[in-house]
Amino acid sequence: MKIAIVHDYLNQMGGAERVVAVFHEMFPDAPIFTTLVDRSILAPELADADIRPTWMQGLPGWRKHFKKYLPLYPRAIESIDLRGYKLVLSSSSAFAKGVQKATGALHVCYCYTPMRFVWDYENYLAGENLPRIYRTFLPGVLARLKKWDLQTSGRPDYYVAISSEVRDRIRRIYGRESRVLFPPVETQKFRPLGPPGDFYLVVSRLTAYKRIDLAVRAFNHLGLPLKIVGIGPYQGALKHLAGANIEFLGRLGDADLVRSYGTCRALILPGSEDFGLTPLEANAAGRPVIAFRGGGAIDTVKEGVNGLFFSEPSVESLIAAVQAVENGLFSFHPERIRDHARQFDKEIFKKKFGQLIEDFWATNRNSGNRISGE
């Protein structure tokens, strides 16, 4: 059976791209179709993959200006020719779910979220330093993308959501049901490296909606060491805001990231994530997470076992949670935390996703029609 994997774009390596790498492990002969690919940043797991970008790969200056080409992505995705492929796996937070399959094929969408920059425009772009001309024309562009997003929401035969939050979002926006399967975590990669250190850790792309500013402001007040791993457009503003106790480490390689997780006191997750792999990576290293009570953290944080919540998106609420850890109000056990993280291990994901595919095939064979996932 010919299988195709479709992903939005491969010009950055984040959680979604790590899922694509796992799909490649599961189906190594399946080509990966995408709008754009920057091979210089690909994870080693994708080095041997058959990656096929669209005509957008030939656009001038796309590495620097890929966001300026926003109106072109739907057309690029729809230009992908999937004739002859019987199973299409789309990995989508924006465009891939709009790919057009061949007649009789099965299309399963692993959905990280409906387009967040369309459906949560104000929060997603809040604080971004966009030129005035962009802010003038962007609402019209996003309105057209929103229309396309709804028009193509029926193309997948089944949706698989990464969290309960995303499942509810898919139901609310698309009117579709979905199964929930949490993304894979390479738990064996991480481990405790001695007793916890004195510093707290943030691992995130530095964009405004991630609310890293909450962590910066809270630790400015607390005076405790905070290390921030990641890069992004909000980096300059955060550095300007940060006190001397806050260190920006930029993008780290695997070995340095493992060391950071394994030696921190706790991970801070200040924003509402669609799922959030970093808390589970910290947990795999035996470290707890202090997370905002919302989004995917509701599925992954068990208070008192592998972390604790702060309930309001405010500096005061986060400060109180950090002080609870500092004052010993919670007792966390590294091995118990690691046991919790192992529930989300990559091998468990592969087994469960494979079973979902079999279930979807069986349903289609028995019914002779498309039936949305339940």
Write the DSSP assignment of 256-275 as a string of letters: HHHHHHHH-SEEEE-S--SS
Flag whether 139 is in a domain: yes
Bridge partners (DSSP) of residue 23 are none
pLDDT at 363 over 60: yes
Is residue 13 located within the same domain as residue 153?
yes
Number of structural domains the chain divides into: 2
CA distance 72 to 66: 10
> Would 219 be classed as within a structural domain?
yes
* pLDDT of the residue at 372: 38
Q: Contact, 290 vs 268, CB < 8 A?
A: yes
300 found inside a domain? yes
Q: Are residues 141 and 78 in the same domain?
A: yes
pLDDT of residue 374: 34
153 and 298 in a single domain? The answer is no
Contact 153, 97 (CB under 8 A): yes
Q: What's the confidence (pLDDT) of residue 232?
A: 86
CB 181 within 8 A of CB 160: yes
Q: Are the CB atoms for 318 and 312 separated by under 8 Å?
A: no
Please write the tens of the pLDDT for every residue from 91-148. Answer: 999 999 999 999 999 999 999 999 988 887 766 555 555 556 666 777 888 899 999 9
DSSP-H helix ranges across the chain? 15-26, 62-65, 73-78, 116-119, 121-125, 132-151, 164-174, 212-222, 235-241, 254-263, 278-284, 297-300, 315-326, 334-342, 346-367
- Pairwise CA distance, residues 208 & 155, whole Å: 32
Q: 202: part of which helix (H) or strand (E)? A: strand 200-203
When mean pLDDT is compared across 10-19, 54-63, 87-96, 224-233, the lowest value belongs to 10-19
Q: Which two structure tokens, joined as six digits, stand for 372?
A: 């949305």
Q: What is the pLDDT of residue 371?
A: 35
Say if residue 373's pLDDT is above 50: no
User: Tell me, what's the pLDDT at 179?
Assistant: 96
Residues above pLDDT 90, as percent of the chain? 76
* Amino acid residing at 336: R
Average pLDDT, the chain: 91
Same domain, 260 and 337: yes
Local structure of residue 209 (DSSP, 8 states):
G
**Does one domain contain both 272 and 304?**
yes
Q: Is 174 helix (H, G, I), strand (E, B) or coil?
A: helix
Q: Same domain for 166 and 197?
A: no
Confidence of residue 368 (pLDDT cuts 50, 70, 90): low
CATH, residue 288: 3.40.50.2000
- Provide the residue type at 185 as one letter: V
Nearest-angstrom CA–CA distance, 211 and 143: 25
Do 230 and 318 fall within a single domain? yes
Angle of helix 15-26 versus helix 346-367 axis, rounded to 10: 70
The secondary structure element, H or E, covering residue 53 is strand 51-53
Average pLDDT over residues 248-268: 95
Intra-chain end-to-end CA distance of the chain, in Å:
25
What integer pLDDT is reported at residue 369 of this predicted model?
Answer: 47
Q: Are 46 and 21 in contact (CB under 8 A)?
A: yes
Is the model more confident about 137 or about 270? 270
**Considering the domain boundaries, does residue 372 fall inside one?**
no
Same domain assignment for residues 234 and 148: no
User: What's the rounded Cα separation, in Å, for the pair 223 and 217?
Assistant: 10
178 in the same domain as 40: yes
* Contacts of residue 31, Cβ cutoff 8 Å, sequence gap at least 6: 4, 5, 50, 51, 52
Question: What does the alpha-carbon distance between residue 3 and residue 105 come to, in Å, rounded to a whole number?
Answer: 10
29/124: higher pLDDT = 29
What was the pLDDT predicted at 188?
A: 92
Residue 137 pLDDT: 75
Residues 333 and 359 in one domain: no
CA–CA separation, 367 and 271 (whole Å): 42
Answer for the pair 52, 70: CB distance below 8 angstroms, yes or no.
no
Residue 109 and residue 42 share a domain: yes
In this prediction, residues 233-242 reach a mean pLDDT of 93
Determine the structural domain holding residue 179 and report its residue range.
3-184+346-367
Q: Does 373 reside within a domain?
A: no
Query: Hunting for tokens 């099965």 — which residue is that?
Result: 106
The CATH number that applies at residue 138 is 3.40.50
Q: pLDDT (tens digit, 9 = 90+) per residue, 42-73? A: 988 999 999 999 999 999 998 888 888 999 99
188 vs 16, 196, 251, 294, 367, CA distance in Å? 19, 19, 21, 27, 41
What integer pLDDT is reported at residue 120 of this predicted model?
78
pLDDT, tens digit (0-9, with 9 covering 90-100), for 271-316:
988 888 899 999 999 999 999 999 889 999 999 999 999 999 999 9
225 and 242 share one domain:
yes
DSSP for 358-371, please give it.
HHHHHHHHHHSS--
pLDDT for 140:
86
User: What pLDDT was estimated at residue 138?
Assistant: 79
The predicted structure's pLDDT at residue 41? 87
